[in-house]
């Protein structure tokens, strides 16, 4: 099916994808705008996964101060090019990540950053809790694993539910943005300050 230049332009405005990608998506979906957007999102996430190994050395450091100056956050978010680092989508993502850190108080970026001693201590606590509940020995490990997964979701930024859309994790949000912008996007590091904390 032939698509018009106007349809391609509208899809490009809505999706941020390249002109040829928009044209191909509309043709593949028979001119259906919603289907084309979904197809672009799927393709974008696939392409973004392939770009994960690309160096992301551009980007920005976002600052966020909340609650009358009682909480402050600095977050570094990286991308491959300065051009993408200046886009509104990228800047909004950085602001959202800073607000996420302020609101949800993650302790680590990813689960691999959690010290092994902390993981072992959590497992020990969960095993004691389960033992007190009188659970059968064959289910103890599964229960401990489940509790540990919840611990990672609570304390690791990239696994936390996104504050503006709890159905998505922060990692899912990052992948969607990488797919939309066509670059490797990484949250590099963050620091959170709260008045009176040691």
> What's the per-residue H, E or C state across 79-106?
ECCHHHHCCHHHHHHHHHHHHHHHHHCC
Task: Kindly state whether residues 100 and 175 are assigned to the same domain.
Answer: yes
Task: Kindly state whether residues 39 and 122 are assigned to the same domain.
Answer: no
Tens-digit pLDDT profile for residues 51-105: 555 667 789 999 999 878 999 999 999 998 888 889 999 999 999 999 999 999 9
Tens-digit pLDDT profile for residues 130-162: 878 877 777 888 888 999 999 999 999 999 999
Q: Range of 11's domain? A: 5-51
Question: How many structural domains comprise the chain?
Answer: 3
- On the 0-12 / 13-18 / 19+ scale of CB atoms within 10 A, 135 is middle
Q: Report the chain's terminal Cα–Cα distance, integer Å.
A: 64
Rounded to two decimals, what is the model's pTM?
0.70
CA distance 116 to 19: 48
CATH code: domain of residue 140? 1.10.286
Task: Kindly state whether residues 102 and 175 are assigned to the same domain.
Answer: yes
Q: What is the pLDDT of residue 5?
A: 86
Task: Kindly state whether residues 79 and 100 are assigned to the same domain.
Answer: yes
Task: Kindly state whether residues 94 and 179 are assigned to the same domain.
Answer: yes
Average pLDDT, the chain: 87
Q: What is the pLDDT of residue 163?
A: 95
CATH code: domain of residue 43? 1.10.8.10
Task: Kindly state whether residues 88 and 18 are assigned to the same domain.
Answer: no
Q: Which residue has 């391609």 as its token pair?
A: 8
In this structure, what is the dihedral angle of CA atoms 92, 105, 121, 115, given to the nearest 10 degrees?
Answer: 50
CA distance 146 to 136: 15
């Amino acid at each position: 099916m032939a698509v018009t230049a106007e349809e391609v332009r509208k899809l490009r405005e809505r999706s941020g994808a390249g002109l040829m990608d928009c044209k191909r998506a509309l043709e593949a979906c028979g001119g259906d705008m919603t289907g084309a957007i979904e197809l672009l999102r799927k393709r974008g996430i696939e392409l973004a996964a392939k770009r994960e190994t690309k160096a992301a050395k551009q980007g920005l450091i976002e600052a966020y101060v909340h609650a009358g100056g009682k909480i402050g956050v600095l977050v570094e978010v990286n991308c491959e090019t300065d051009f993408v680092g200046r886009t509104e989508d990228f800047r909004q993502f950085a602001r959202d990540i800073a607000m996420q850190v302020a609101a949800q108080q993650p302790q680590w970026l990813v689960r691999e950053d959690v010290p092994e001693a902390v993981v072992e201590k959590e497992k020990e606590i969960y095993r004691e809790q389960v033992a007190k509940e009188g659970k059968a020995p064959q289910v103890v490990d599964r229960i401990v694993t489940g509790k540990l997964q919840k611990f990672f979701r609570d304390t690791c930024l990239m696994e936390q539910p996104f504050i503006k859309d709890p159905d998505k994790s922060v990692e899912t949000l990052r992948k969607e943005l990488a797919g939309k912008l066509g670059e490797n996007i990484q949250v590099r590091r963050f620091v959170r300050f709260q008045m009176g904390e040691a």
